[in-house]
Amino acid sequence: MRTTRGLAAVLAGLFVVGSLLGCTAQAAQVEAPPPAETIAPPPYVVESDSGQQAPADSAPTEKDASSGSSASESPSDLKLISAKAVRVVDGDTAVFALTDGREEKVRFIGINTPESTTKVEEYGKEAAAYTRKALPAGRSVKLEPDVEERDRYGRMLAYVWLGTPKQASESEIRAKMLNAKLALDGYAQQMTIQPNSKYADYFTEFVREARQANRGLWAGGSAEEEPAASSSGGSGGSYIGNRNTMKFHEPSCSSVGQMNPSNKVPLSSRQQAIDGGYVPCGRCNP
């Protein structure tokens, strides 16, 4: 009997101890802090050109950051300056008033017309008259500079758009750019001075068209015409070429007297003139 009671007491003690251990473990489990929450970093946000925030997937890559846009030039990419014509100096130079009130003497890029100011060269007055007709005082234009914005004389260098171009396409250049029109209608030769050569290929083609059509400066003939049977003229076979107009003359021609000495090129024969790309003068018909 006494043994049974002792066993019961032992079992009761074990039960109490077990209960206490279970409560302690449960309390420890409840009071343990939760695992730390992992917070993801905010997405990379880029400020776009428009001032709006772009999503992370539009962030620039290393390749984008190191290279410019490969897209072709759009109308909005053209650097155009609004101006109004004030007066024409000669065929390839005019004065314009800018929107800030300044006046700029502008030399047209890519072409060269005969002189009509200090020296009057053949077709110089006609070229100046053509430009005056295209640029009456007050006419609104757009001036487009190239890489080099001024020449050694301080003049602004520009392409003169008579109307705002929709894009820099050949059709727009033909229809709206005065530099191109002077070349197309035979009032100017091409003159490319680097680094300003944006439209040089077009001007090459336009001058070629004018020569083939015998327009303006080229009215006396074309470089492709066959030379006459006689290779000498009334001056014993010598001629004077004009490096500006690319025409050749009899030494007695009135145009020679008006020619800038720096443009005179002595030619020993008609064949030499033709081979050199000169065309006969329409006045003296050498």
Task: Assess contact for 245 and 189: CB atoms under 8 A.
Answer: yes
Side-chain half-sphere CA neighbours of 241 within 13 A: 19
Q: Of 2, 47, 87, 107, which residue is the catalytic one?
A: 107
Active-site hit among 5, 47, 73, 115: 115
Q: Is 115 noted as a catalytic residue in this protein?
A: yes
DSSP code at position 50: T
> 144 — phi, psi (to 5°)?
-115, 110
- 64 CB-contact burial (10 Å; exposed 0-12 / middle 13-18 / buried 19+): exposed
Dist CA 187 CA 207 (whole Å): 9
Is 107 an active-site residue?
A: yes
Instruction: For residue 117, give the 3-state DSSP assignment.
Output: coil
Cα–Cα dist 106/152, whole Å: 12
User: Of 126, 132, 155, 215, which one is the catalytic site residue?
Assistant: 155
Q: Which positions are catalytic?
A: 107, 115, 155
